[in-house]
Amino acid sequence: MVTLVIIHQPTAMNRWAEYCTELFENKDLSPSTSETHSDEGEGPEPPSLLSEVRHAMHQLRSEKSPGIDDIPAELWKATGDEGIHIMWQLCTKIWKTAQWPIENS
pLDDT, tens digit, for every residue of 73-100? Answer: 999 899 999 999 999 999 999 888 888 8
Owning domain of residue 49:
9-97
Query: 2 in a domain, yes or no?
Result: no
Pairwise pLDDT comparison (86 vs 6), residue with the higher score: 86
Query: 103 in a domain, yes or no?
Result: no
Please say whether the beta carbons of 67 and 56 come within 8 A: no
- Dihedral of CA atoms 25, 97, 34, 55 in degrees, nearest 10, equals 100
Indicate the number of domains in the chain: 1
Query: 87 in a domain, yes or no?
Result: yes
Give the separation between CA 34 and CA 31, rounded to whole angstroms. Answer: 8
Query: 1 in a domain, yes or no?
Result: no
Please say if the pLDDT value at position 38 is more than 50: no
Query: 105 in a domain, yes or no?
Result: no
Give the separation between CA 55 and CA 78, rounded to whole angstroms. Answer: 15
Query: 69 in a domain, yes or no?
Result: yes
Q: What is the pLDDT of residue 28?
A: 55
Sequence-separated (6 or more) residues with CB below 8 Å from residue 86: 79
Pairwise pLDDT comparison (85 vs 15), residue with the higher score: 85
- Element containing residue 15 per DSSP (H, E): helix 9-25
Query: 39 in a domain, yes or no?
Result: yes
